[in-house]
C-alpha cells in the first residue's frame, strides 16, 4: 500500500456560534490542511497518484474559503466552521474528485502550528 500526503492552506475568519468564550467573537486562522490518499497500484510511470494533481484538487476546494468570512460560506453559514466540520467537508468534496484507483484516508486541519484535528470516516 502506498500513501501520499499533500498540504495546502488558506486564511479565513469565523466565529463559533453558541460557544461560551472568546472564540465566539470574530477571529481568524491560517488553516493548514493535509490530505492523505492510499493506493495499491502504480501507473505505467511508477506513481500511485500525481502529487501535482492532488495538490490542484485540494487547492480547488480550499480557494473558496481563502480570505473569506466562513460564517457566510456554505455549509458554514449553517454549521460552525470548526476544525472538525472543515475536515469533514473537505473530505467529502475531495472524495468526489479522486479516481477510483485510490481512496482518501484522512484529512487533517491545523488551526495553529500546535493544534491539529484529523477526520477519518
Specify the CATH number for the domain of residue 58: 3.30.479.10
Q: Is there a contact between 60 and 96 (Cβ–Cβ < 8 Å)?
A: no
Q: What is the pLDDT along the chain (121 residues), one digit of tens a residue?
A: 999 999 999 999 999 999 999 989 999 999 999 999 999 999 999 999 999 999 999 999 999 999 999 999 999 999 999 999 999 999 999 999 998 999 999 999 999 999 999 999 9
Q: Is there a contact between 108 and 34 (Cβ–Cβ < 8 Å)?
A: yes
What is the per-residue pLDDT for 109? 98
pTM: 0.94
What is the per-residue pLDDT for 23? 87
Closest CA to 35 of 16, 54, 56, 12: 54
What is the per-residue pLDDT for 13? 97
Alpha helices in the chain (DSSP H): 51-62, 83-97
Q: Name the strand (E) or helix (H) holding 42.
A: none
CA angle 22, 64, 24 (to 5 degrees): 10
Residues annotated as catalytic (active site), given as ranges: 23, 67, 111
Q: Total domain count for the chain? A: 1
Domain carrying residue 77:
2-119
Closest CA to 68 of 22, 34, 28, 108: 28
Amino acid at each position: 500500500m502506498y500513501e501520499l500526503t499533500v498540504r495546502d492552506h488558506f486564511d479565513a475568519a469565523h466565529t463559533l456560534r453558541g460557544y461560551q468564550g472568546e472564540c465566539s467573537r470574530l477571529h481568524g486562522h491560517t488553516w493548514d490542511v493535509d490530505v492523505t490518499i492510499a493506493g495499491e497500484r502504480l501507473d505505467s510511470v511508477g506513481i500511485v497518484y500525481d502529487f501535482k494533481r492532488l495538490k490542484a484538487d485540494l487547492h480547488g476546494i480550499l480557494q473558496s474559503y481563502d480570505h473569506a468570512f466562513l460564517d457566510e460560506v456554505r455549509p458554514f453559514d449553517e454549521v460552525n466552521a470548526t476544525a472538525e466540520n472543515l475536515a469533514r467537508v473537505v473530505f467529502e468534496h475531495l472524495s468526489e474528485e479522486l479516481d477510483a484507483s485510490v481512496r482518501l484516508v484522512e484529512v487533517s486541519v491545523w488551526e495553529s502550528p500546535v493544534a491539529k484535528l484529523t477526520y477519518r470516516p
